[in-house]
């Protein structure tokens, strides 16, 4: 049974970044049919690789937030959530960069923007997969920060190097990678075509041949974003290196059978994290799955409910 991608109505905003690019924000607020009954808090959500505010897990979290009566802002990473009718085949970016697992400056900019607009409103942050890695890295980069009073993540690939290697084993992981690389390769090729300074750094034949995340990150992601290659990117962007510095109350939900990383990474992440980080690791759940109930008619995506309810508990 396919989950709906339009569970809530959102108000879209195009936000200009400090470097002159665009971020698309989708707001759940009192302008629509889900009025915020508690205007002292706002949820900020971050999606996963090649996702958007309309990803099923994002819509699931937003529907819980709406039911609880809070406002929310879903951040769409650069080049995501773009209307093909508006942008056609051209690159939906003004600047020669995309997004990646360790890119935290855009999230930091959104946090500062929301706090400046609503100084009395505290923020609660949630991230899934790549978005969760970004959130945890940002928290570790800003120990002692008070803008985000609590955070929660789901299915974070804490060690990007171990995860990329794990995704090369077995049919299902390779299926995931193949699907993602279709759009990732296209974005990198469009980036090279629109920005000569990027094109001169890319081996476009290697980009076109990339069949694994490591090959793509070596050929495209690294050169575009200033890394020397995949290993440099994985080392500098993996949230596992920032967990020990987090001072914000944080919940991390993961499954031991997540195809995006080996189970031993979860134990390493748990061992290294600060005492403010709580881990809930289940045997099953896959990647942003966590389904309970009788399939397919009574499916309950319990992690989204638990994650948002846990964050809402910090409003009291």
What digits encode the pLDDT tens for the residues 46-85? 999 999 999 999 999 999 999 999 999 999 999 998 765 5
pLDDT for residue 316 is more than 80: yes
Write the CATH number of the domain with boundaries 11-159+239-315: 3.40.50.1820
pLDDT band at 31 (very low <50, low <70, confident <90, very high): very low
**pLDDT value of position 34:** 52
Residue 45 contacts residue 127 (beta carbons within 8 Å): yes
pLDDT for residue 241 is more than 80: yes
Work out the average pLDDT over 284-301.
71
**289 SS3 class:** coil
Work out the average pLDDT over 106-125.
97
Nearest-angstrom CA–CA distance, 156 and 102: 12
Distances (CA, A) of 146 to 46, 47, 288, 312: 19, 22, 28, 16
Spell out the domain ranges in the chain.
11-159+239-315, 160-237
List the one residue out of 44, 225, 305 whose CA is nearest residue 149. 44
List the one residue out of 216, 233, 224, 230 whose CA is nearest residue 199. 224
Query: pLDDT tens digits, residue range 218-229?
Result: 999 999 999 999
**pLDDT value of position 38:** 80
**pLDDT value of position 300:** 74
Higher pLDDT, 6 or 280: 280
Contacts with 131 (C-beta within 8 Å, 6 or more apart), sequence order: 45, 46, 47, 48, 51, 75, 77, 153
Work out the average pLDDT over 182-199.
92
**pLDDT value of position 237:** 98
Work out the average pLDDT over 106-122.
97
Of the listed ranges 87-96, 127-136, 221-230, 295-304, the one predicted with least confidence = 87-96
**pLDDT value of position 1:** 45
What is the chain's mean pLDDT, rounded? 91
* Total number of residues shown for the chain: 316
Q: Which residue has the tokens 């508690």?
A: 38
pLDDT for residue 309 is more than 50: yes
pLDDT for residue 173 is more than 90: no
Compute φ and ψ for 252, nearest 5 degrees: -125, 115
Work out the average pLDDT over 194-215.
94
**pLDDT value of position 304:** 94
**Residue 237 Cα to chain centre, angstroms:** 13
**pLDDT value of position 176:** 86
pLDDT band at 87 (very low <50, low <70, confident <90, very high): very low
Higher pLDDT, 87 or 206: 206
Residue 120 contacts residue 46 (beta carbons within 8 Å): no
DSSP code for 169: S
- Strands, DSSP E only, in 158-316? 250-255, 277-282, 291-292, 300-301
Nearest-angstrom CA–CA distance, 199 and 189: 8
- What share of the chain has pLDDT > 70, as a percent? 91
Higher pLDDT, 293 or 146: 146
Nearest-angstrom CA–CA distance, 152 and 136: 9
pLDDT band at 178 (very low <50, low <70, confident <90, very high): very high
Work out the average pLDDT over 170-181.
88
Work out the average pLDDT over 247-262.
95
């Amino acid at each position: 049974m396919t989950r709906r991608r339009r569970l809530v109505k959102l108000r879209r905003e195009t936000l200009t970044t400090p470097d002159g690019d665009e971020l698309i924000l989708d707001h759940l607020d009192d302008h629509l049919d889900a009025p915020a009954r508690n205007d002292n808090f706002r949820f900020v959500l971050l999606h996963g690789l090649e996702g958007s505010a309309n990803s099923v897990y994002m819509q699931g979290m937003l529907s819980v937030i709406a039911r609880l009566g809070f406002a929310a802002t879903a951040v769409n990473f650069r080049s995501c959530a773009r209307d093909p009718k508006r942008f056609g085949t051209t690159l939906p970016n003004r600047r020669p960069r995309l997004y990646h697992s360790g890119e935290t400056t855009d999230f930091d900019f959104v946090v500062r923007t929301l706090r400046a607009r609503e100084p009395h409103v505290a923020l609660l942050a949630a991230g899934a997969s790549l978005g969760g890695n970004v959130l945890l890295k940002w928290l570790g980069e800003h120990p002692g920060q008070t803008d985000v009073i609590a955070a929660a993540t789901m299915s974070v690939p804490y060690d990007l190097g171990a995860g990329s290697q794990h995704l090369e084993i077995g049919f299902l992981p390779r299926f995931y990678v193949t699907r993602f690389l279709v759009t990732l390769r296209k974005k990198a090729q469009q980036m090279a075509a629109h920005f000569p300074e990027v094109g001169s750094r890319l081996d476009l034949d290697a980009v076109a041949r990339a069949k694994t995340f490591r090959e793509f990150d070596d050929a495209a992601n690294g050169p575009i974003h200033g890394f020397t290659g995949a290993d440099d990117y994985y080392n500098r962007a993996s949230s596992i290196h920032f967990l020990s510095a987090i001072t914000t109350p944080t919940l991390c939900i993961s499954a031991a059978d997540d195809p995006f990383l080996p189970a031993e990474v979860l134990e390493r992440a748990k061992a290294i994290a600060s005492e403010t980080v709580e881990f809930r690791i289940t045997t099953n759940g896959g990647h942003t799955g966590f389904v309970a109930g009788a399939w397919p008619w009574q499916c309950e995506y319990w992690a989204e409910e638990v994650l948002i309810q846990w964050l809402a508990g910090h409003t009291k």
